[in-house]
Amino acid sequence: MQVLDLQAKELAKRFGSGAPVFSGLEFSITQGDCVALVGANGTGKSTLLRCCLGLIAPDAGEVSLLGEKLTDLGGAARRALRARTGLVGQKHNLVPRLSVLSNVIHGLLGRHSGPRYWMQGLAPAEARTAAMATLTKVGLADLALRRADQLSGGQSQRVAIARALVGNPRFLVADEPCASLDPQAGEEVMALFMSLVKREGVTVLFTSHNVQHALSYGDRILGLQGGRIAIDAASADVTPKEMAQLYA
């Protein structure tokens, strides 16, 4: 039986008195799927991602994430649900003065609170072990004790991926994970990210302005245009012309 990890029903969002960013959005994501959300600048991709994770509330409609209706959840249940999800943003948002290892340990903060889970020296051994294992997966174990502000862009984004993965999330959102990287680093980071999420069986919703990335890494394409979903199809069935029309 197919398990739906995300269901969006009749979602609508506007900011202030502005025009609706989107309205009437309906889609679902099956467990283990990797879905690319695409569309021109300003079509509402980031806004939609944030609604899906419960970081902002839609004006209408509802989101069910990992079987839980976001509107039904109180603070504690919402935090528990957030601990089962991960987010990789356009900017890596690492804490510059902390080590790589501490930044990754920070990814466990949703599960535990307090300084023990922030500073590598104080974090319990299991947190450090989990963070080191995840750093090994992204190929950065050697840099564990380096300060985050001494990393290249590609290395920083790998650390951000490790931070998102360290708690073994079941659902991951990635908002243009390669936006700040040169083409070569972007390719490497994307390939690494996708191989890890596939290996771990994580459900992924990612955005990208790189049409090739969307088509090759996404099992499915969700295309936003004019506040509506213009494409919802397996990536193998989406033609280059349909993709181009999204940006026309």
Ligand X SMILES: Nc1ncnc2c1ncn2[C@@H]1O[C@H](COP(=O)(O)OP(=O)(O)OP(=O)(O)O)[C@@H](O)[C@H]1O
Structure tokens belonging to residue 158? 């790998």
47: contact with ligand X by CB under 6 A: yes
How far apart are the C-alpha atoms of 161 and 189, rounded to whole Å?
9
17: contact with ligand X by CB under 6 A: no
From candidates 5, 45, 86, 131, binder to ligand X by CB under 6 A: 45
225: contact with ligand X by CB under 6 A: no
From candidates 25, 35, 38, 43, binder to ligand X by CB under 6 A: 43
Inter-residue contact 13 to 21 (CB < 8 Å): yes
Stretch that binds ligand X, among 36-44, 73-81, 95-103, 142-150 (CB under 6 A): 36-44
Inter-residue contact 126 to 81 (CB < 8 Å): no
Cβ density class 122-132: b for 16+ within 10 Å, e for less: ebeeebbebbb
Stretch that binds ligand X, among 40-48, 95-103, 133-141, 152-160 (CB under 6 A): 40-48
158: contact with ligand X by CB under 6 A: no
Which of 21, 19, 7 lies closest to 61 in space, CA to CA?
Answer: 7
CB of 15 to ligand X, least distance (A): 3
Which of 53, 47, 52 lies closest to 20 in space, CA to CA?
Answer: 47
By C-beta, is 43 or 210 nearer to ligand X? 43
By C-beta, is 137 or 220 nearer to ligand X? 220
By C-beta, is 60 or 133 nearer to ligand X? 60
15: contact with ligand X by CB under 6 A: yes
By CB under 6 A, how many residues form the interface with ligand X? 10
From candidates 2, 17, 42, 74, binder to ligand X by CB under 6 A: 42
By C-beta, is 22 or 171 nearer to ligand X? 22
By C-beta, is 39 or 61 nearer to ligand X? 39
Burial class (CB in 10 A: 0-12, 13-18, 19+), 68: middle
Integer CA distances (angstroms), 33 to 30, 47, 164, 205, in order: 6, 21, 18, 8
By C-beta, is 44 or 218 nearer to ligand X? 44
Cβ density class 42-58: b for 16+ within 10 Å, e for less: ebbbbbbbbbbbbeeeb
41: contact with ligand X by CB under 6 A: yes
Q: Which residues bind ligand X (CB under 6 A)?
A: 15, 21, 39, 41-47
